[in-house]
Structure 1
């Protein structure tokens, strides 16, 4: 078989494959024999249909098409094997089927054009001596106090209060009913609209401004038990319920009871109640160590991210479609698994209409991820960076002990661990051979959102239990 190769874009190899006359003749005759034994033609027994009658009834074009359906994949597969091409994904036929039928003459050579994706060549213009900046995350001692205070708040007992008005920090028991009021410029004769779900009896609300819509809590400050007030408030914009976003409202509120929190003392008994530690000092030390390590790890992650971003500026790679599609598949599968673990119905979210849009939006990230991973692998090869079997075994053992109650595919785990350890080693080598300047937190990107800080604190609190 004669095969001519040509480099194409997107890391493809074009193949011009000449199938020998013997094969084109043999395949054509084989198809006729097979059809003769299976086709029903009135007046003839199966396998006894004369060749000329068969050709007249079925037509030469149909027989050629049937022969080509076997010649094409067999020819491409043999060509790839003959040329020792490490193809990825499925080969693509470049010749049109109609042209092949026209050009196909049994007993004559037949030329097929195809393309196969191959592993891309990585052009690293520079990967040592890189310079970048990364934000340094400093350990914040107040986070320990925040965690302990939040836990105290969770363990607080509510004590009824008499003889004073409501104030910030109290727990108020109220009846309320809310309506949407007319905005300025609206019809003055229009009736107010009840807020869907905007009423409750014996509702317990903590008097903190972030616990309800703006205006509601501040309007309750100074109320006495038994008092009723009309409190103006306004729904924020944006708001979860779009119909209420930005709308002014009035709540009729009756204060029935005031309670205040009685917090447990911050002592050894408290530490034993919320953690496995015997003393408050031990609990504090553990939290301090955790947050110090977290800050160090985040700083290192920032360094790595900055360095890899700089590395990509010096990388040229023509990615094959197969790799990009595989990476998108992996990303969507990972997303689907996370959503499923959260109890969401993935089938309703990943519909046939939505999937093409998701794939298109995922492509830029998939390309960047591939560039990173391929560049890291290339550096590992050039610098002969490897992990030992002992290192992999130690990490696998550690993980199996940590997740002893889970059913884990050990072969899969070993492969994942080996890849992760190798990646860590290569990135550490890059850091050692580059310069990443540490700059103050927030100087390169917007400050961390308060919600994110709160979530981090909640996670830490939950881990005490």
Structure 2
């Protein structure tokens, strides 16, 4: 068999394959024999149908098509083996199948073109001595106080307030009903339009500015228990319910009760109540260690992210479509497994309507992940960076202990551990040889890209909005300004 190779874009190899005359004849005869054994023709026993009648019944086009399908499949596999091509994914026929049928004559050579994806060639360029900026992450010692204060708020006791008006920080019990404010030029005597879902009785809410829509909480400040008041508020824009976005509203509010929080004292008893520690000092130390580790981990992650972005800039890729689609498959599978573990209905989130959109939205992230992985792998091969068997075994035991009692495939875990260790080693090697300029956190503002889970959430939200407008209305007033 004669095979001619051609390098194509997108990491493909083009193949022009010429099938020998005897092979084209053999395939044609084989198809006829198979049909003859299976054909049921009135007046003839099965397997005894004359050749000419069989050809008339089936038609030469049908027989030629079946023969060509078999020739193409066998010939591509043989060509890949003959040429020692490291093919990935399924081969692609480049010739027109209709033209092949038209030109095919048993006993004569048949030439056709195909293409196969192959592992990409990576022009890595510069990778040692990279210069880039990374956001600096510093430990904030106020984090501990915020956590402790949050615990105190959770354990607070509500005490009825007497003799004063409502103020920020109080907890209120109230009745309210919302209306859309009249537009400019409207009849002042006209009845106000009720806002669906904007009504409640004996509703408890903390008087904090970020609760409800702007203006609602501030309108309650200064009210006394038993007082009824009309409060002006404004729906933010954008807003979950687009019909209300940016519109002014009026609420009739009756303050029924007013309470204030009595916070527990911050002492050893408090520490024992909210944690496993015996005293407040131990609790503080534990929180400090946790936040310092988080800060260090975040700082390292920022440097790694900046490093990988810079590394990819210096590399030229030709990622094959097969690898992209495999990566998309892996991403969607991982997301489905995580969401399933959270108790979500995967069949509802991943269906024939959403999967094509999910695949399209995931493509950019998949390509980016592949580029980073391929670039790191190339660095590792050039610099002979490897994870030792001892390192892999130690990490493998740690991971298997974490999954103790769960049904996991040890071989897959070991492969994942080895890959993770190798990636860490290559990144550390690159970081040690890079020049990193630390800049304030948040100053780089990398472009945001939707993750697979965010995309699933987005599609699920669209479906909820389309199918459950009533549920959306119930969120009308309880939405905070942060939403």
Verify same fold: TM over 0.5: yes
What is residue 408 of structure 1 aligned with on the other side?
408
- Measure, in 2, the Cα distance between the counterparts of 1:89 and 1:268: 63
Could you say if the C-alpha distance between residues 142 and 200 of structure 1 is closer, same or farther in structure 2, counting changes exceeding 3 Å?
A: same
What is the match of residue 366 of structure 1?
366
Q: Does 1:212 align with 2:212?
A: yes
Name the structure 2 match of 1:236: 236
Q: Shift in Å at residue 50 of structure 1?
A: 2.0
Q: Map 1:413-432 to 2 at 5 A.
A: 413-432=413-432
Pairing of 1:190-339 with structure 2 (within 5 A) = 190-339=190-339
The Cα shift of 1:171 comes to 0.9
How far, CA to CA, are the matches of 1:403 and 1:155 in structure 2?
A: 35
Per-residue deviation, 1:134: 0.7
**Corresponding residue of 1:140:** 140
Structure 2, gaps ≥5 residues long:
447-483
Task: Give the stretch that moved more between structures: 96-105 or 3-12.
Answer: 96-105
Cα distance in 2 between the residues matched to 1:274 and 1:393: 38
Aligned length: 446
Structure 1 unaligned residues grouped into runs of 5+: 447-465
Q: Distance in 1 between matches of 2:45 and 2:445?
A: 81
* TM-score, length-scaled by structure 2: 0.88
What's the TM-score once normalised by structure 1's chain length? 0.91
Give the Å deviation of 1:405: 4.3
Deviation at 1:144, TM superposition (A): 0.6
Other-structure match for 1:56: 56
Q: Secondary structure at the match of 1:125?
A: coil
Query: What does residue 69 of structure 1 align with?
Result: 69
* Distance across 2 between alignment mates of 1:14 and 1:309: 32
Aligned to 1:459: none
Deviation readout 1:302-330 (Å, 9 max, x if unpaired): 11111111111110111111111112222
Cα distance in 2 for residues equivalent to 1:319 and 1:430: 23
Shift of 1:409: 2.3
Q: Which residue of 2 aligns with 1:91?
A: 91
Q: Once structures 1 and 2 are overlaid, which stretch shifts more, 306-315 or 351-360?
A: 351-360
Mapped partners of 1:188, 1:255: distance in 2: 26
Structure 1 match to 2:78: 78
Say if 1:189 and 1:229 are closer, same or farther in 2 by CA, change over 3 A: closer
State which drifts further: 133-142 or 40-49: 40-49
* Mean Cα deviation higher: 30-39 or 86-95: 30-39
Deviation at 1:119, TM superposition (A): 0.2
Between the aligned partners of 1:241 and 1:61, the Cα distance in structure 2 is 60
State the shift of 1:341 in Å.
Answer: 4.2
Kindly provide the CA deviation profile for residues 362-414 of structure 1, in whole angstroms up to 9, marking residues without a partner as x: 22222221111000001001111111222122222222223334332222211
Of stretches 434-443 and 373-382 in structure 1, the one that deviates more from structure 2 is: 434-443
- Hey, what's the Cα distance between the residues in 2 that align with 1:170 and 1:257? 10
Q: Which moved more, 1:436-445 or 1:284-293?
A: 436-445
Secondary structure (helix, strand or coil) at the match of 1:209 reads coil
Q: Which of 426-435 and 268-277 deviates more?
A: 268-277
Q: State yes or no: 1:152 paired with 2:187.
A: no
Q: 1:73 to 1:187 in 2, by over 3 A?
A: farther
Change in 2 beyond 3 A, CA 1:343/1:386: same
Instruction: Provide the C-alpha distance between the structure 1 equivalents of 2:17 and 2:198, rounded to a whole number of angstroms.
Output: 74
Deviation at 1:157, TM superposition (A): 1.0
